[in-house]
Structure 1
Amino acid sequence: MRDGEQTPGVSLEPEKKVWIARNLDALGVDVIEAGSAITSQGERDGIRAVVREGLKAEICSFARIVKSDIDYAIDCDVDSVHLVVPISDLHITQKLKKDREKVKRTAVDMVEYAKKHGLIVELSGEDASRADLDYVLDVYRAGVEAGADRLCFCDTVGVLNPERTYDIFRKLVTGVKAPVSIHCHDDFGLATANTVAALRAGASQAHVTMNGVGERAGNTSLEEVAIVLKSLYGVNTRIVLENLYPASRLVSRLMGIPVAPNKSLVGDNAFMHESGIHVHGLMANAATYEPITPETIGRKRQIMLGKHAGRSTVELALQGFGLSATGPQLDEITKRVKSLGDMGKHVTDVDLMSIADSVLGNHTVARIKLIDCTILSGNHATPTSSVKLTIDGQEVVESGVGVGPVDAALNALRRSISGVADVKLDDYRVEAITGGTDALVEVWVKMSRDGRVISARGAGPDIIMASVQAFIDGMNRLIEEKNGIVKKAAEP
């Protein structure tokens, strides 16, 4: 969490740190570096909150080779310190304005000080990948003699490559009498490759972050290392693989850092298929175009419709809704889907069902219809929404509050159907179609119910009403699978 939170613009309040820490613990990680205790009072409050959770993982604080850093860590009651010593000549002379011998003495003194106060010590060489390896070994050996429990080699600016990493770690693991960790940054996109190379060479521990978050290009991705080790090298870790995707989503949401759609394993596109050729192969055997099953990491396969979609793609998507079509009907639906795709449009589940209803003659009536939606919001008022709608012809009035007017409106809608279905909003995003203050906006939502995931959209100049439109379309699609009329109890 400490290095991940150094992502520009990210600052985690104590409750968010605790939430993430619980999920990391459930994943099975061995050590959680909860923060740097010297940073601020708020940071210390967050670290203490994580410590109080009584998690199975070892709780660690980052610390420089400065006595006050260690004192603050001790005050937070952590299990260990990640004691970082600048070890390259560039850092020693330009940042610290010192010499090698003085830095080594200080590192030894601080290791002894931390050990005297009952801390587990991981002595870490900052910018080790640009340092003299003989000096790195000298500092490490002195640290171990002083009581350091673990050592860490940091590729601080991501300049290692897998071949050099392997060679370095073969020398380290035979040259020191303590477990050695690898800490990589992804400046050249090699963090995972370098981390795996170090582990192959004998490293005992890897420093990683969920989604690869971190400063600049980020750190090594936890999910990538865990799956690469399992799938490509046959190495089992204690990581609970099916918890990876839920943890990824949580971290993304709490940090406010979206995961790139093409990010390996946890990106939106990782298990999404549009091409007809690919989907045809998937229908025969999922392994044709997927290296692992999405369920391995707690995901589900998604079929995207657009101009690349073929008959197989459309057929599979229709099957997901329990629909079947004759050959000519399937050709016509595919033609219309491609036509929307050629216009640059994303074809949602609602779009597909509208096309299918038209072609197949299934003119279903929406079970949920909006009559009215009002919003109260202001500088000193909690955003509040009131909605009036009908469910299967029965009028329902409900209200909700939220952190903003859109949130309030969607919460009111959720409450209005609570007796019919429990619907979860998985993703929400807004795109401006035109410019200006009267811009036409398009709202996209991804919603789920009982494992069924659908997407829907709404468009218009009013972002609130576009959001409400998208949400209602999605709700109608999710509850459509239930046969018969479901009544909501009348309000008193």
Structure 2
Amino acid sequence: MYIDKVKQEMKIPEKVRIFDTTLRDGEQTPGVAITPEEKIRIAKRLDNLGVDVIEVGFPAASLGERKAAQEIKGLGLNAKVCGLARVLQEDLDAALDSDVDYIHTFIGTSPLHREYKLHMDQEEILTKAVDAVEYIKDHGIIAEFSAEDATRTEFEFLKNIYTAVEDAGADVINVPDTVGVMVPASMRQLVGDLKEVVSIPISVHCHDDFGLAVANSLAAVEAGALQVHATINGLGERAGNTSLEEVVMALMATYGIKTNITTELLVGTSELVSRITGVKMPPNKAIVGENAFAHEAGIHVHGVLQKAETYEPLKPEMVGHTRRIVMGKHTGARAIKSKLDDYGIEMNEDQFCTLYDQVKKLGDKGKMVTDADLQALAETVLGKPKEEKVKLEGFTVMTGDNVLPTATVKLNIDGKIKTAAKTGVGPVDASINVIQDLVRETADIELKEYHIEAITGGTNALAEVFVIMADGEGHSATGRSTVEDIVMASVEAVLDSINKILLARDMDQLP
């Protein structure tokens, strides 16, 4: 592995602490508001997950924030319960009143923040930072200090303020890439330079404005950072924060670095946070997305079925996920046969070829065939009679405003072509009416039952139609069809049933 060559040059630790800020920075995701009760639910799940610190919010913001912090602290969690505070007396007191055992305090340090937000010079900012840390430590609380917008701050000032808060008793210094402007090489350089001047643990808080939050966090660890701030699903301001699930799995699987995270709980935790916040994950979201361990392409599926590692860097079970073989236009025969084996469905070669062609045709129309779709299609193929006395040669239907639903059907009945048109209360009714009329000379067969069901959700869901037809001689048969068009599914199901009845009548006439 190439990583093994470069790891020797890195200062990577054996273990990294995970500081979770889902309930603070994650809640700052536009449109997200988490109630105190929901914060408690998420905090319990985060503690089960194994995060080291839970930043529960900004106690000075509201009474609700303080009450939520107090209640979470009262749960007796294994994780440290942290409150955020500016270097202001009222903020620090609000955090202390919340009974948290960890305070994360911050002040802006970059020229932009000094000039346009704070209207303070370097000396004033440094003094306030030191005073805040000393105040926290006077109360026997763990203190973490962040130089907000550190990555756009002059290094000399950054070095001065971090060494000053270390001297004041800070337990951890945090390096926020507040607007996500770093690249891995510069983050590695910055953390490495800070390691030369401070001896307390270095933490990083990266934002994803350029999609580099995880990469920058990993680069910081490569330079010796011992803690990473992260959120579940990468929630946070603007483009979000470092994704906890991504950075944890990269640390573990790629670098061999330990964390306290129980990785099997990642997907479940992701889903809980997604439900509570209302922020749905894109299907291609790394680690926890619906498609993170899904395969469609025939070459990939073949490889995965032989040896999962050919196209999977992780076992899905490691993160609480499951592997999915998705059926579509890229799906190979091996994948479909593997699925059929899972369902216990046996087919002969002709039946399988019919099923395979149906899956490919649906894929060409842009349809993804789900497990439920495949089973329904397979049942339809298996249920088809060996011989078809009645075959569909052509079919059109017309319906709409001020138009009586009309179906025109062309059938091949024992080698004779017959065509007719009929109306009905709807396109399905019209279609069944004309089919019954066309076969009446051969057999008087009537519809007894009709059921329809969408296999999966969505307007492009496959429709499964189930019918029971009967003649006047005591023969009845079920018919089934599964296609994406409800009217066509109804036509095919009716013809399926009719052919079964005609086959039964022929069997009765055998000597």
Q: Do they superpose with TM above 0.5?
A: yes
Match of 2:210 in 1: 188
Q: Which residue of 1 aligns with 2:32?
A: 10
Decide whether aligned partners of structure 1 residues 443 and 145 sit closer, same or farther in structure 2, where only a CA change above 3 A counts: farther
Q: Is 1:101 matched up with 2:123?
A: yes
Specify every segment of 5 or more residues in structure 2 that has no aligned partner in the other structure, as ranges. Answer: 1-22, 386-455, 464-481, 487-511
Distance 1:362 1:177 in 2: 76
User: How far, CA to CA, are the matches of 1:326 and 1:16 in structure 2?
Assistant: 53
The alignment partner of 1:83 has SS state of: strand
Q: Quick one: which amino acid aligns to residue 287 of structure 2?
A: L
Deviation string, structure 1 residues 48-91 (Cα, Å, up to 9, x no partner): 22111110000000111111011111111001111011011110
The aligned residue for residue 375 of structure 2 is: 353
Partner of 2:276: 254
Instruction: Give the TM-score normalised by structure 1.
Output: 0.73
Separation in 1, partners of 2:333, 2:350: 11
3-state DSSP of counterpart to 2:196? helix
Distance 1:292 1:135, change over 3 A: same
Q: Is 1:126 equivalent to 2:155 in the alignment?
A: no
Q: Structure 1 residues 43-52 or 320-329, which shifts more?
A: 320-329
> 1:334 offset after TM fit, Å?
1.2
1:47, distance to aligned residue in structure 2 (A): 1.4
Tell me the CA shift for residue 346 of structure 1: 3.0
> Paired residue for 1:176?
198
Structure 1 spans left out of the alignment, 5+ residues: 364-428, 434-440, 445-455, 461-492
Q: Provide closer, same or farther for how the CA distance between residues 137 and 271 of structure 1 changes in structure 2, counting only shifts above 3 A.
A: same
Q: Which amino acid aligns with 1:358?
A: T
Of the two structures, which has the highest relative contact order with CA contacts closer than 8 Å and spacing of 6 or more? 2
SS in 2 for 1:113: helix
Alpha-carbon contact 2:104-2:143 (below 8 Å) kept: yes
Give yes or no for the alignment of 1:327 onto 2:345: no
Q: 1: CA distance between counterparts of 2:384 and 2:72?
A: 54
Q: Which amino acid aligns with 1:120?
A: I
TM-score by length of 2: 0.71
1:127, distance to aligned residue in structure 2 (A): 0.4
Corresponding residue of 1:164? 186
Q: Matched residues in 2 for 1:256 and 1:118: separation?
A: 38
Determine the structure 2 residue equivalent to 1:382: none
* 1:2 partner SS: coil
Report sequence identity in percent: 47
Contact (CA 8 Å) 1:356, 1:362: kept in 2 or not?
no
Is residue 237 of structure 1 aligned with residue 259 of structure 2?
yes
Q: Which residue of 2 aligns with 1:289?
A: 311
What residue number does 2:419 align with?
A: none
Q: Give 1:288 deviation, angstroms.
A: 1.2
> Aligned partners of 2:344, 2:297: CA distance in 1, in Å?
21
Which residue is 2:506 aligned to?
none
Runs of 4+ displaced beyond 3 Å: 441-444, 456-460
Structure 1 position 457, deviation (Å): 13
Distance 1:459 1:340, change over 3 A: closer
Q: CA deviation at 1:344?
A: 2.6
Kept in 2: contact 1:315–1:324 (CA 8 A): no
Paired residue secondary structure (1:62): strand
Mapped to 2, the partners of 1:327 and 1:84 lie a distance apart of: 69
Is 1:80 matched with 2:102? yes
Q: What is the alpha-carbon distance in structure 2 between the residues aligned to residue 121 and residue 7 of structure 1?
A: 25
Q: What one-letter code is carried by the residue in structure 1 that aligns with 2:310?
A: T
Q: In the alignment, which of 161, 166, 169 is matched to residue 144 of structure 1?
A: 166
Whole-Å Cα distance in 1 between the matches of residues 323 and 67 of structure 2?
A: 40
CA distance in 1 between partners of 2:380 and 2:41 (Å): 46
Give 1:200 deviation, angstroms: 1.2
| Matched residue, 1:487 | none
Aligned residue for 1:152, secondary structure, equals strand
Q: Distance in 1 between matches of 2:153 and 2:461?
A: 52
Number of residue pairs matched?
376
Q: CA RMSD in A?
A: 2.2
Quote how far apart the aligned CAs of 1:340 are. Answer: 1.8
Correspondence for 1:420 = none
Q: What residue in structure 2 maps to residue 67 of structure 1? A: 89
2:231 alignment partner in structure 1: 209
